[in-house]
Structure 1
Amino acid sequence: MFARLFRFLESRIDIFSAFDEDETPPTGVWRFMWHHLKGIKGWLAAIMLIELAFSGVEAAIYLMVGWFVDLLNKQSPQTIFQDYGWLLAGAAFIILVLRPILFFVTQVVTNQIVVPPLTNQIRWRNHIYTLGHSLTYFQNDFAGRLSARVIQAGQSVRSAVIAVIGDLWYALIFASVTIGFFGSVNVWLMLPVIIWLVAYAVLLRYFVPRALERSEANSLGRSSTTGRIVDSYTNILTVKLFARGDLERAAVRDSLKHWNDTFLDLMRLILGASLVLQILNSILIVVTAGLTLYLWSRGAMTAGAGAAAIALVLRLVQMSGWLMYLIRDVFDNIGTVQESMLTIAKPHDLVDAPTAGTLSVPSGEIVFDHVHFRYGGAKPVFPDLSLVIRPGEKIGIVGPSGAGKSTLVNLLLRLYPIQSGRIFIDGQDIANVTQDSLRRHIGVVTQDNSLLHRSIHENIAYGRTGVDREAIENAAQQAAAHDFIVGLSDQEGRAGYDSRVGERGVKLSGGQRQRITIARVLLKDAPILVLDEATSALDSEVEAAIQAQLHRLMRGKTVLAIAHRLSTIAELDRLIVLDQGQIVEEGRHDELIARDGLYARLWRRQSGGFLALEDSSVA
């Protein structure tokens, strides 16, 4: 029964509820937080009301202590239950029943209904929005930093808001009840608490900003040290090949020393603030106790009221310690939210048109129509590029480094927005179709042959959803990958197609990774095929084994192939020679050799079948 109840309560906030995935989050910190909180404002209001009731009951219990002491002093033991039985039963009900119920409700609403789903809903929505950014966005930042910002945003927004509407609200209500009670007894009894609160506020004003500054320095020290260590581990082969273990130890030692210094600096501040707070608390306790004794001796206060006053003050000073760190954490979380906001809340610079449709590719004609493109403020890669690729035509893209070969492919895939001009596939402007439908119709094998840290099966199946194991193994066999796959295993005992490949496929050789990516594209079987250095990581024997399969794969497809090894594309229907973003030659291999132009010079400069670096005269 309780399990069903908790499952019901824990599902009140849907982590994956629908939202506008293209809506740019606002950039003000509080507006950014409200952007993620507005959907659960009813639950946040409920937390505030429950905390109000719970803090009221907590304060009432301390007041009941005073009433109970006075009752014991004034009432006869023989008649106390007869005269005050119902009041005593009511007090017992508040303590035994109402307080636990309010505590339970507070914890359930806060920690079961709101905290976990809210935290992960924020992470989910920020992740989905971040995925919508263009390739440039990811190239300009570290993947680890982006993922950390997405994860931290959920935790920090949740922590800040729960601390404010929960703990801080609770403390504010308790302090208000304390001051109100003291004022009702004697105005002089209220004065020390007010002075203490002012001094406490001054201490917070001094402590919080300095603590944030030193916490940030400590956090940077941690990040720097972690980065140094990770850099050493990531490049461990280089470290060992150059015998530079001493250099890496020295770098980490210096970074760790700096981190330790910032940590000690923070601890000194905390120690000083804690000492001042303890002195303030001790003064408040002594002064309140002295005033209570004085007022009681003058008959201006009962013993019970004095006991309640001392109890309230003791509870107040007890809360002051964790409240100081809580306020620091709130500001710390707000700072983290701001960092995440500045990283995440940027407008998508490459979005689908509002009326974008689904691409249809019946034949595969590709037209570049007066395309102008540049990266940022740099010199244009393509000042004015026009190119027609006929349906089913196999073309090779050739040119020296920096000519724009890979950029041409990236623009076809709409990984970057062009400044002017248009690109058509079968008469459809790719700017007017969805990016997903465009890329589903293009199979790509790039020279960056990294894999997902998942099983071989999952990596190959990434090319097409809903395929069976037989189709996956067939694609692997066509890519000359099956034989080495069946011999793989990982540290957790998984073998063959179920074995994990490591981060970016690090457990496999370059040639093995390339064959897996080729199998993935073979399985996808898209009508347009892009081969960007598709066999660059293969040795001659393996390349020969799969060349026939690549030629079979190209049948009936429109193909764009980029290769520095010119012999791999010499037999294609047409070769396009690019230089400085312009088409300077085009034709078949033998025609271009006969012209003795740039292509012929590139061909002659090959050594062992690879394109040598071009000097400035050739470029």
Structure 2
Amino acid sequence: MFSFFERLVAPFPDDDRTPPQDGLLRFIVFYARPVWPLLVAMAVLTAAISVIEVSLFAFLGHIVDWFANSPRDTFLSDNALALSGMAVVVLIVLPLLVFIEGLVTFQALSGNFPMRFRWQVHRWLLGQSLTFFQDEFAGRIATKLMQTALAVRETVMKFLDVMLYVAVYFTGIVVLVAGADWRLALPFLAWLAGYVALLRYFVPRLGRVAERQADARAEMTGRVVDAYTNIATVKLFAHTRREGDYARTSMQTFLATVYAQMRQVNGFYASLYLLNSLLLIAVAGLGIMLWQSALISAGAIAAAIGLVLRINGMAQWIMWEVSQLFENIGTLRDGMATFARTQAIADADNASTLDVHHGALLFDRIRFHYGRGAGVIEDFSLSIAPGEKIGLIGRSGAGKSTLLSLLLRFHELEGGRILIDDQDIAGITQQSLRASIGMVTQDTALLHRSVGDNIRYGRPDASDADLQAAIEAAHAGDFIDSLVDVHGNRGLEAQVGERGVKLSGGQRQRIALARVMLKNAPILLLDEATSALDSEVEAAITENLHRLMAGKTVIAVAHRLSTIAALDRLIVIDEGAIVESGTHAQLLAHDGLYARLWAMQSGGFIGEAPLHACHAG
């Protein structure tokens, strides 16, 4: 039975719809629509339970009157049917309704509803551009995802629960006491007016504080996670105290919102307690007056006072529920600002799958400036023949890595086009584009998984034989066999730690090389691919890289000119423009800029001076 209800909501739907970009209500409805039938069922059950609970107080009044008017020796026989019926309601009907409501609420909705939100939003976030994640703390985004998922559930469920409970319960109370004497309902109506006034005053203030608090909590978590993620850098520069102070600033900001929230809550609580006390005095006093005038029975007074005491507890429950409701709304608004953001780079509606049959590349008068309006790449053109191996040379900031990012479509061009085998990459799917390109970067970050999982990331369906071949080609077998993690996992099963921190730079680089070798894509990009390796390992891997590059179109970037001197063509760029091109021998014979760079190089690296400064040498 539990499993049946747990399967009523699919937690991982295959749903790639774009979330609404405006309107909190539309945002909530978008993610809540699939569970509306269950929410309606929960509402009906809540209403039924509320009606029965109010009826219990009416029955309590009748019992008091029966005690006053029925002989003791015939009390049970005179009221046997009513007592038996109420016993059935109390012992069977009400517990059964509560149990069924629990099945809907706890089994079907409580876990599946927020998990469905997390799944859909996570998939949406994975489609965001690289810039989106570079502009945000990873911990902040993750915290918002977890918080907002719960906030969506609580906002919808608490709203229905509280509003229905109040509407049905309070309506039942007014009908019940008015049935004894209409004047007895007046204090309840006055209390309702006062309660609504308190809600209208305090709830918006609590909502505004909650919104600031959600943002402050995400900022605080982001700073803490940032310190943990970069703990090696923190310790290397002896900045543990500085990081503590940096986190403390955000913690103080968060704590200030907590103080502000608790001030409002305290005011709300005290005002509500006073209002409830006034209701108790008013109902008791009016009830006694009406009883003295023989207008109502003692049972009616008992029922009315019992309802006042029930309202006292219910009002405090509603207060907390409503305050949490608006706290969740604040969290939702904060999360919506992140999760409803339009994807900066999206596939065209009619995007096709890339078909790389030769591997020809064409950069056709492209322009890109990172939105700054001044030059990174301006009117850049470069044609690369199928299977040609190109080396890009230039100082830091010349635009080399930017060209690779544009080819991978991590950024959108501001002008021009990039073609692969005469197919404009703007009109093909990002998935097929990046699946056709293998890349090794200087800053190699590994997933916090096993060594084997990280290498298989290049081609998850690869055979064990292909996996071992890639490992051997990357000269990674010896150190992988010796790996042991803290859980006792060995070799390929050993965990590498977050971003691969348990491995040396050279080990990470060899795993990255094995990964791209396993991928075996027709286009290969190498951005300082061997920079973290020692000379002996680099020489061994370079031999395998040449085998890897066979039959592929290759663009390689390196400051160490000796590593790319043997490529088919070398392209020297500065400030996003080509200033020289040719083979290594041709460029040396030309005795131009490349020749001067070659002569200047100490230890095989290009200096950081601007390339045009080399002319003066």
TM-score, normalised via structure 2 length: 0.94
Q: In structure 2, do the counterparts of structure 1 residues 154 and 137 end up closer, same or farther at CA, with 3 Å as the change threshold?
A: same
CA distance in 2, matches of 1:255, 1:431: 41
Quote the offset at 1:512 in angstroms: 1.0
Contact 2:144 2:218 in 1 (8 A): no
Task: Decide whether the 8 Å contact of 1:352 with 1:432 is kept in 2.
Answer: yes
The answer to which of 192-201 and 301-310 deviates more is 192-201
Matching residue of 1:486: 481
Deviation per residue, 1:357-411 (Å, 9 max, x gap): 2222222111222222332243243322222111111111112222211111112
User: What's 1:500 paired with?
Assistant: 495
Structure 1 Cα separation of the partners of residues 594 and 211 of structure 2: 56
Moved more, 462-471 or 110-119: 462-471
In structure 2, the partner of 1:59 is 54
The answer on 1:549 being equivalent to 2:544 is yes
- Give the Cα–Cα distance (whole angstroms) in 2 for the partners of residues 477 and 87 of structure 1: 85
**Aligned counterpart, 2:138:** 143
- Is 1:113 aligned to residue 108 of structure 2? yes
Q: Does 1:104 align with 2:99?
A: yes
Question: One-letter code of the match for 1:60?
Answer: S
Is 2:42 the partner of 1:47?
yes
Partner of 1:16: 12
For the 8 Å contact 1:56–1:173, the answer to whether it is kept is yes
Equivalent pair of 1:26/1:35 in contact (CA under 8 Å): no
The residue type paired with residue 404 of structure 2 is V
The offset of 1:292, in angstroms, is: 1.4
1:562 aligns with 2:557: yes
1:258-273 equivalences in 2 (<5 Å): 263-273=258-268
Q: Counterparts of 2:126 and 2:248 in 1: how far apart (Å)?
A: 37
Kept in 2: contact 1:494–1:500 (CA 8 A): yes
Residues 551-592 of structure 1: CA deviation (Å, up to 9, x unaligned)? 111111111111111110001000111122222211101211
Deviations 1:93-115 (A, max 9, x none): 11111101110111111111122
- Mark the CA change 1:467 to 1:228 in structure 2 (over 3 Å): closer, same or farther: closer
The whole-number CA distance in structure 2 between the counterparts of 1:102 and 1:161 is: 21
Is it true that 1:411 corresponds to 2:409 in the alignment?
no
What CA deviation, in whole Å up to 9, does each residue of 1:576-617 have, x standing for no partner? Answer: 111222222111012112223332233233221111102374
How far did 1:22 drift?
4.7
2:307 aligned residue:
312
Residue 389, structure 1, aligned to residue 384, structure 2 = yes
How far has the Cα of 1:534 moved from its partner?
0.5
Specify the code of the residue in structure 2 equivalent to 1:432. Answer: G
1:240–1:405 distance in 2 versus 1, CA, 3 Å: closer
Deviation at 1:90, TM superposition (A): 1.5
Give the deviation of 1:521 after TM superposition.
0.4
Matching of residue 26 in structure 1 with residue 21 in structure 2: yes
Counterpart for residue 442 of structure 2: 447
Query: Partner of 1:535 in structure 2?
Result: 530
User: Kindly tell me: are residues 518 and 251 of structure 1, through their superposed partners in 2, closer, same or farther at Cα, counting changes over 3 Å?
Assistant: closer
Matched, 1:379 2:374: yes
Which residue does 1:7 correspond to in 2? Answer: 3
Question: Aligned to 1:526, what secondary structure does the other structure show?
Answer: coil
Amino acid at match of 1:528: I
Report the Cα distance in structure 2 between the residues aligned to 1:289 and 1:144, rounded to whole angstroms: 56
AA at the equivalent of 2:4: F
User: Aligned AA for 1:576?
Assistant: I
Report the CA distance shift for 1:256/1:307 in structure 2 as closer, same or farther (over 3 A).
same
CA distance in 2, matches of 1:531, 1:371: 21
Is the counterpart of residue 576 in structure 1 residue 571 in structure 2?
A: yes
Q: Contact 2:229–2:498 (CA<8 Å) still a contact in 1?
A: no
In the alignment, the residues of structure 2 paired with residue 437 and residue 259 of structure 1 have an alpha-carbon distance, to the nearest angstrom, of: 44
The secondary structure found in structure 2 opposite 1:41 is helix
1:594 aligns with 2:589: yes
The one-letter code sitting in structure 2 at the alignment partner of 1:10 is E
1:158-237 to 2 correspondences below 5 Å = 158-215=153-210, 226=221, 229-230=224-225, 232-237=227-232
Question: Is the 1:149–1:340 contact (alpha carbons within 8 Å) kept by the matching residues of 2?
Answer: yes
RMSD (Å) for aligned C-alpha atoms: 2.3
Structure 1 residue matching 2:461: 3-state secondary structure: coil
Superposed displacement of residue 335, structure 1:
1.2
Aligned to 1:618, the other structure's residue is in SS state helix
Q: Is 1:24–1:348's contact at 8 Å kept on the other side of the alignment?
A: no
Separation in 1, partners of 2:246, 2:461? 49
* 1:356 CA displacement: 2.2
Aligned residue pairs: how many?
Answer: 614
Contact 2:211 2:331 in 1 (8 A): no
1:511 counterpart = 2:506: yes
Q: 2 CA distance for matches of 1:221 and 1:412?
A: 38
CA displacement at 1:221 relative to structure 2: 6.0
- Which digits, 9 at most, give the CA deviation of each residue in 1:176-197, with x for residues without a partner? 2112222222232222222222
1:295 aligns to 2:290 (yes or no): yes
Kindly indicate whether the alpha-carbon contact (under 8 Å) linking 1:27 and 1:342 is maintained by their aligned counterparts in 2: no
Partner amino acid, structure 2, of 1:480: H
**2:212–2:330 CA contact under 8 A, matched in 1:** no
Deviates more, 1:376-385 or 1:567-576: 376-385
Partner of 1:86: 81
Q: Are residue 353 (structure 1) and residue 348 (structure 2) matched?
A: yes
1:435 Cα offset (Å): 1.5
The Cα of 1:444 is off from its aligned counterpart by 0.6
Q: Is the 1:396–1:562 contact (alpha carbons within 8 Å) kept by the matching residues of 2?
A: yes
Q: 1:229 Cα deviation (Å)?
A: 4.8
- Deviation string 1:326-367 (CA, Å, 9 cap, x unpaired) is 111111111111111111112223222222222222221112
Instruction: Using the TM superposition, give the Cα deviation of residue 460 of structure 1 relative to its aligned residue in structure 2, in angstroms.
Output: 0.1
Asked whether 1:469 is paired with 2:469, we answer no
Q: How many Å apart are 1:80 and its aligned residue?
A: 3.9
Q: Which amino acid aligns with 2:156?
A: V
Alpha-carbon distance in 1 for matches of 2:394, 2:363: 18
Question: Is 502-511 or 420-429 further displaced after alignment?
Answer: 420-429
1:499 Cα offset (Å) = 0.9
Task: Return the alpha-carbon distance in structure 2 between the equivalents of residues 175 and 541 of structure 1.
Answer: 82
Local SS of the residue matching 1:444: strand
CA–CA separation in structure 2 for the residues paired with 1:250 and 1:38: 44
- Counterparts of 1:255 and 1:415 in 2: how far apart (Å)? 32
Shift of the alpha carbon at 1:447?
1.7
Q: Aligned AA for 2:5?
A: L
In the alignment, is the contact (CA less than 8 A) between 2:368 and 2:413 conserved in 1? yes
Cα distance in 2 between the residues matched to 1:405 and 1:383: 13
| Corresponding letter in the other structure for 1:492 | H
Give the corresponding residue for 1:364.
359
Offset at 1:159?
0.4
Instruction: Look up the equivalent residue of 1:344 and give its one-letter code.
Output: F
Q: Is the 8 A contact 1:475 1:519 kept in 2?
A: yes
Distance 1:583 1:259, change over 3 A: closer
Deviation at 1:228, TM superposition (A): 5.5
Cα separation, 2, equivalents of 1:376 and 1:232: 30
Task: Summarize deviations over 1:179-234 as a string: whole Å, max 9, x none.
Answer: 22222222322222222222222222333333344455655665565555555545
